[in-house]
Structure 1
Amino acid sequence: MDKPLKILHTEAAKGFGGQEIYIYRHMLAMRERGHDVSLLCQPGARLGEMAREAGFTVHALKMGGLLRMLRGIWSVSRLVRRHTYDVVNTTSRRDALIAAAGARLGGAPLVVRSRHLMSPVNSLLTYTGLPHRVLTVSSFVKQLLVHRGIADDRIGIVPPIAVPPQWSQATSDDAWQCLQDTRAEVRRELGFSDDQVVVGCVAVLREAKGHADLLRAIAPLCRQHPNLQLVIVGDGAPVMERLTALRAELGIAGQVHLLGYRLGACRLMTAFDIFALASHKEAAGTVFLEAAYVGVPIVATRVGGVPEMLVEGSNALLAPLGDQAALTAALQTLVEQPERRRQMGQAGWDWMRSAHRFTPTGHTEATEYYYHQWLKELGHGKR
């Protein structure tokens, strides 16, 4: 590896979702590789609290309003000069405006803007005017940025990290047996018997995650198969209320379990026979990798970067967005064919044990490649 880098990551959001999980896992992996990694975030941000607990240096900066933005730019420029960061990597629009501008004023050799979303880019300022380069999570999002006018050769792709369960580090046979033991244990905890077919979904409760679509698609199957159960893990008050009402309206309240937020979602997924998520948009989707890691076949919508996070036809069946009949058919195939479930679950398990790019090592190698390449292109040589 080239000389370790001194890196400052920035994030304006106070909540903790997929983007923040990506940053946190990234910071842990880069530190493990020997890099000096710090974080700049708003006071009270959950990401900041977790990073501080993990031993990272965390700088707090309020980022709302024009006056705070101007003060923030000056504060970041001084921070960059004082710590002589090699790379300042911004994430959201607000922190990109402040930190990228401050980093450029402070003389940071490389300023990067990360993009974790597939929603439209309104302003190019935080992608072309302020940062030197852009990192994103999938080829799909990269193409969106290229179509928006960002040069192809200024964009790199670093997929998310899928954290493997502890037992996956064992030999293949031991790990598979450990998975089966955990599955039986978790199913007992959740109150499911061996003869029940459990379809599970793990995602924050937002309209764009398509939970209502999933309920409507699985409803006719629930009526045909009394042993079929749907488990939804995730929180979000407005959507939770609508799902509670919808399951009653569809007549499947007894077969739909809304568990809310739960720690250890990857462990919970071992209890599933099928993982299902009917997202309307998804830049990547780490949860699909985690489902594959625990040997669970997947049903999903063919949107965004989802096809890059699984192997269609091998460990996953995909349905077109908005096609409820196709989604029902995909679910029905796996609900009614236990041997197909087993084969696809095994295929996902085998694939994730060889998919290097989703491991912490593969992730950091890709990140290092882009950072060092871009530093060289910008005239700073190897750091």
Structure 2
Amino acid sequence: MTMKRRKILFVISSLGRGGAELHCLRVAPMLNPEHYDIAVFLFRMRGAAFEEMPRHVKVFAPWYEMEVENPGLASRLVRMLVSTFQFTVCLLKERPDIVHFFLPSSYLHGGTVALLLGRRNLVMSRRSLNYYMKHRPAWVNRLELFLHGRMKALSGNSNAVIRQLIEEEHAPTDRTQLIYNGVALPELSTQIREAARVALDVSEGEIVMIVVANLFPYKGHADLFEACAQLPLNQPWRLIVLGRDASGIMPALAATADRLGIADKVHMVGGQADVGRYLAAADIGILPSHEEGFSNAILESMAFGLPMVVTDVGGNAEAVLNQETGLVVPAKSPAQLGIAIRRLIEDPEARRMMGAAGRQRVERHFSLRRCVEDYDGMYQNILSSRPLGNA
């Protein structure tokens, strides 16, 4: 007997190159097409990765797109009215069996519309800690907590996120589920590494460090620059800073690097579609964030066999085992960050062992296939009215 294909609608602002957007881009095509008819609804804009979504996944691009960072009130009002109408049409026409929201703005907007239209199989995925709530009006936070109670499932991508959902936001325990991010394991070889380093003009013996994170103050780039200023300048090293300037801080960061005397060591390459060509050339991965949910960038770096230096925030220490797959240091501490980086620079055997252990850990616990299987299990439990049971 042929299984009925169920319609799953992902709802997100865009298919840009942020962590949540790329997560949707990778997960949606891998859900079993024999079981699911997958579609994605975009509220705000297509985004830089829009064309990368495989054709068998239907994507509803916004009728009215806004690409400016700070649109005027009139533009925001028009966008809200148009996107609300478009989403309403989409729900009524497509009649998805499950509507799955990613990121707070899509959740608040789309979740409210879906409830008003009587949709009941609703899912929200939280991919960060809730610090963003501190900067919003109280009534908006109350709306989000109200929506939590109407979801069939709330997933979080780290134990830290799950704890916050349950303890601070009173999410129902029996409808809260941990689903870690997942990444694909790239092919690694000496030839691939050498070719990547030649392409970036890396000299023999030069240590390449990389931080993959869009430029927001809370990502801690300034701390990292302070830490790197402690490293011997006569030592051959470089820092690759990969990520789009999402908050306009690149000029200030460049000025900081110049002030610290490391401008010639810091290579800010902006957002890149092919992150792998940089990771393949690197020796050490770094994420100095002040806050995180659970970082895809950490997993991607570990998948390339990089030992990691990360701050102890969010789910970072769930991904990176201190002294085993990398080093975990306190947030907002450039001094300790610098000590950890220097230790790995000076100990090639530790880099090798931690990098190999990290790649193995990704393969065992954070594969993309396992992530997709967890989503599939959650959807099947919702459709069969079974409890989730792993919060």
* 2:276 corresponds to 1:266: yes
* Match in the other structure for 2:68: none
* Match in the other structure for 2:157: 137
Distance 2:149 2:364 in 1: 39
* Match in the other structure for 2:18: 17
* 2:154/2:175 contact within 8 Å kept: yes
* 1:100/1:130 contact within 8 Å kept: no
* 1:160/1:286 contact within 8 Å kept: yes
* Match in the other structure for 1:108: 119
Please give the per-residue CA displacement for 1:306-349, whole angstroms capped at 9, x wherever unaligned. 11222222111011012222111111110111111111111112
Distance 1:285 1:116 in 2: 9
* 1:295/1:348 contact within 8 Å kept: yes
* 2:16/2:49 contact within 8 Å kept: no
Q: CA deviation at 1:239?
A: 2.2
- List gaps (5 residues or longer) in structure 1: 168-177
Distance 1:48 1:261 in 2: 11
Q: CA deviation at 1:125?
A: 2.5
Distance 1:213 1:295 in 2: 24
* 1:112/1:131 contact within 8 Å kept: yes
Change (3 A) 1:222 1:29: farther
Change (3 A) 1:276 1:97: closer
* TM norm structure 2: 0.84
* Match in the other structure for 1:173: none
Change (3 A) 1:244 1:142: same
Please give the per-residue CA displacement for 1:133-185, whole angstroms capped at 9, x wherever unaligned. 312211111111112222222211222221221x2xxxxxxxxxx42211111
Change (3 A) 1:81 1:275: same
* 1:51/1:58 contact within 8 Å kept: no
* 2:339 corresponds to 1:329: yes
* 2:319 corresponds to 1:309: yes
* Match in the other structure for 1:229: 238
Question: Equivalent of 1:95, from 106, 110, 124?
Answer: 106
Distance 1:77 1:269 in 2: 42
Question: Equivalent of 2:285, from 263, 275, 282?
Answer: 275
Q: CA deviation at 1:57?
A: 1.7
Q: How many residues align?
A: 365
* Match in the other structure for 1:5: 6
* 2:11/2:42 contact within 8 Å kept: yes
Q: CA deviation at 1:360?
A: 2.8
Please give the per-residue CA displacement for 1:187-243, whole angstroms capped at 9, x wherever unaligned. 1111112211221212212211111111111112133x4212222222317322122
> Higher helix proportion, which one?
1
* TM norm structure 1: 0.86
* 2:147 corresponds to 1:123: no
CA root-mean-square deviation: 2.7
Report % sequence identity. Answer: 27
Which stretch shows the higher mean deviation, 40-49 or 70-79? 70-79
* 1:289/1:309 contact within 8 Å kept: yes
* Match in the other structure for 2:71: none
Question: Equivalent of 2:374, from 355, 366, 370?
Answer: 366
Change (3 A) 1:285 1:32: farther
Question: Equivalent of 1:84, from 95, 113, 127?
Answer: 95
Change (3 A) 1:324 1:92: closer
Distance 1:337 1:207 in 2: 30
* 1:80/1:107 contact within 8 Å kept: no
* 1:76/1:98 contact within 8 Å kept: no
